Amino acid sequence: MENYKLGDRVKVSSDNDNDYYDSFRNKILIVTGISRNTEDHQGYDEGLNGEALYDLKDLKGNNINCSLYDYELTKV
């Protein structure tokens, strides 16, 4: 699993088949926020034991409407 930093460029992993991600699946995304607990992000799944949850934007600066975990992303 990767641990990305603010400003890293990522894409949705090819292993990820979540249809909800189709609108940004093939886009390069930029990490804009990193959360590791529910204090950082109310939608964080505490069962993932500290795995990072990332806020993202596309290259045009548009925020992505959901956050993704390490295992859902791959480095560009």
pTM summary value: 0.91
Q: Does residue 40 belong to any structural domain of this protein?
A: yes
Say which amino acid occupies 58: D
Q: Does residue 49 belong to any structural domain of this protein?
A: yes
pLDDT digits (tens, 9 = 90+) for 11-57: 999 999 999 999 999 999 999 999 999 988 888 988 888 799 999 99
Q: Does residue 23 belong to any structural domain of this protein?
A: yes
Q: Does residue 71 belong to any structural domain of this protein?
A: yes
36: containing domain: 9-75
Q: What is the pLDDT of residue 2?
A: 62
Nearest to 50 by CA among 36, 39, 60, 61: 36
Number of domains in the chain: 1
CA distance linking residue 33 with residue 42, whole number of Å: 13
